[in-house]
Structure 1
Amino acid sequence: MTLAADLLDIATRIAREAGDLAARRRREGVEIATKSVAADIVTAADREVEAFIRAELERERPEDGFFGEESDAHESSSGVTWVVDPIDGTVNYAYGIPAWAVSIAAVEGSADPAEWTAIVGVVYNPVSGEMFRATRDGGAWLGEERLAVNDQVGPAGGLVATGFGYDPATHAPTLERLARVMPVARDIRRIGAASLDLASVAAGRVDAYYEKGTNPWDHAAGVLLVEEAGGMVGGSPGGRPGKGMVIAAGPGFYGRIADALETEE
């Protein structure tokens, strides 16, 4: 078994078990705390699920690094680091909206999206039961279906997904950015989970996704899904997906979205 295949098996199993744990905790009731601003929340389940994922990864591959949303990073001695969002879409999770996911990626190199190379990505929605998975040069898959981005965007424009930041200070710039995108958009979708937005681009369910202010664990797995489904991914800083911007689309539509956002740095 290749390294990528082994890592994919591990990520798939752990994502499913972690998602099922989160779903059980959701049924039992949600305990909520605030993080950076009032709208930025974390649940007890976020922390419990990340602790579960981390313990399972350490048991399977103790020399690997770990970079997650809810706990301190751990440096790798193997060259592989796991980048984890235990519950992406926490507000959806807290409200009972069925659009949240466990996102797990394995990357080689530094725990920095500007420097790493993703080799495995898994995004699991426990509510729908959908497990999106990808390996570098091995394609992106949902079950037995190989995924491909939608690259047939007509004159009405593309169906574009995006997200809004929690900090009220970002809302006005976010709306200004949206106004620039609308001329090339058929419509907008605001789903509330970056990993699922990127999975939707990979599956051809939306034509593009962009967002400013995401963290590495939000997009590490999803970016690989899009790339392996034949899409283009970029952003900033440095033309790569990062805090400054993430842009993902099919090759035929990517330029129109990027041009609409060309003033972003």
Structure 2
Amino acid sequence: MTTIDALKLLDIARDIAVEAGELAASMRSAGISVASTKSSQLDIVTQADTKVEALIRQRLKDLRPEDAFLGEESGDDTGTSDITWIVDPIDGTVNYLYGSPNYAVSIAATVPTPDGVGQAVAGCVYAPALNAQYTAALGQPAHLNGMQISVNKDVPLDRALVATGFTYDLAKRDRQKRTVAELVPHIRDFRMVGTASLDICAVAAGIVDAHYMRGLPIWDYAAAALIATQAGAFVGGLGKTPPSADLILVANPELAKALEPFLL
């Protein structure tokens, strides 16, 4: 069993995320275009996605050659340690393409768990155009730019500001639209930023009260979910299930219970 130094792993994630974010920002300033699509014509990849992920992969290989890697664009590599790095080089690619500042580099170090889901032990979500660096290590407080953050508490459902988004799978959007329509009379308002990792981190920082989303792959939330958990949020699926592509719900525990019936 590999000895885990979560704070050391966090230092690595933070340093690489900053370098990767600077590359993404410089490429955006130089101009960028769509390189390909994935699950649908809405699910795009830019040249920056692949170059930023290649940089992250190489930096991790240089520093941690024994670790495994799972990236959105380049897939997975096995390792000989208990650490797997889960990476989204640019979460919010459509925002990035359009010049919105709401995009982020997401890097998480994870370890296996008996249930096979895995546990993030260190994570960084870095939004270079927002100058926002969210970080956490397992068992340690979550931070935004070095300042400790925490989830909003004692928020009744009718005062809740809720973040969500729509999947790129058009066949699943009708269900998502119905959920929004059912919830909207019961909450303060919705926010749709278009970058799941930043939405989840916004819950951690008290910028919004809750986030839910269906259809998210693990690289979209691996780092952010740890950050929100360490900020005091409930992070899971329905009931006591862990977050998954079926559903991720992030809020203070009481608000999560109030939201759950609308997400069944």
1:72 aligns with 2:75: yes
Matches within 5 A, 1:185-204: 185-204=187-206
Q: 1:251, CA displacement in angstroms? A: 1.8
Residue of structure 1 aligned with 2:155, choices 139, 153, 156: 153
Matches within 5 A, 1:109-148: 109=112, 115-148=117-150
Distance 1:243 1:199 in 2: 18
Distance 2:115 2:226 in 1: 12
**Aligned residue for 1:24?**
26
Distance 1:254 1:138 in 2: 22
**Aligned residue for 1:172?**
174
Q: 1:113 to 1:14 in 2, by over 3 A?
A: farther
**Aligned residue for 2:104?**
101
**Bigger shift: 155-164 or 133-142?**
155-164
Q: 1:182, CA displacement in angstroms? A: 2.0
Q: Retained in 1: the 8 A contact 2:238–2:260?
A: no
- The amino acid of 2:147's aligned partner reads E
1:222 aligns with 2:251: no
Q: Retained in 1: the 8 A contact 2:68–2:79?
A: yes
Distance 1:113 1:56 in 2: 30
Q: Retained in 2: the 8 A contact 1:237–1:245?
A: no
Partner-residue secondary structure (3-state), 1:152:
coil
**Aligned residue for 1:257?**
259
Q: 1:114, CA displacement in angstroms? A: 5.2
Partner-residue secondary structure (3-state), 1:180:
helix
Residue of structure 2 aligned with 1:42, choices 42, 45, 59: 45
Q: 1:237 to 1:52 in 2, by over 3 A?
A: farther
Distance 1:115 1:158 in 2: 29
Distance 2:235 2:44 in 1: 28
Residue of structure 2 aligned with 1:88, choices 86, 91, 97: 91
Q: Retained in 2: the 8 A contact 1:184–1:257?
A: no
Distance 1:166 1:195 in 2: 16
Partner-residue secondary structure (3-state), 2:188:
strand
Q: 1:232, CA displacement in angstroms? A: 0.3
Q: Could you tell me which runs of 5 or more consecutive residues in structure 1 were left unpaired when the two chains were aligned.
A: none
Q: 1:113, CA displacement in angstroms? A: 9.2
Provide, for residues 96-143 of structure 1, a one-character-per-residue CA deviation record: whole Å limited to 9, x for no partner: 011000000000017x99520110010000001111000001110012
Q: Retained in 2: the 8 A contact 1:236–1:242?
A: no
- State the TM-score, normalized to the length of structure 2: 0.94
Query: Percent same amino acid among aligned pairs?
Result: 44
**Aligned residue for 2:13?**
11
Q: Retained in 2: the 8 A contact 1:236–1:244?
A: no
1:51 aligns with 2:49: no
Q: Could you tell me which runs of 5 or more consecutive residues in structure 2 were left unpaired when the two chains were aligned.
A: none
Provide, for residues 171-219 of structure 1, a one-character-per-residue CA deviation record: whole Å limited to 9, x for no partner: 2111011123224321000000010000000000000000000000000
Q: Retained in 2: the 8 A contact 1:232–1:251?
A: yes
Q: 1:175 to 1:59 in 2, by over 3 A?
A: same
Q: Retained in 1: the 8 A contact 2:104–2:198?
A: yes
Distance 1:46 1:176 in 2: 32
Provide, for residues 139-184 of structure 1, a one-character-per-residue CA deviation record: whole Å limited to 9, x for no partner: 1001231110001314633000001011222221110111232243
**Bigger shift: 71-80 or 192-201?**
71-80
Distance 2:156 2:149 in 1: 21
Give the superposed CA RMSD: 1.9
Q: 1:144 to 1:72 in 2, by over 3 A?
A: closer
Q: Retained in 1: the 8 A contact 2:157–2:258?
A: no
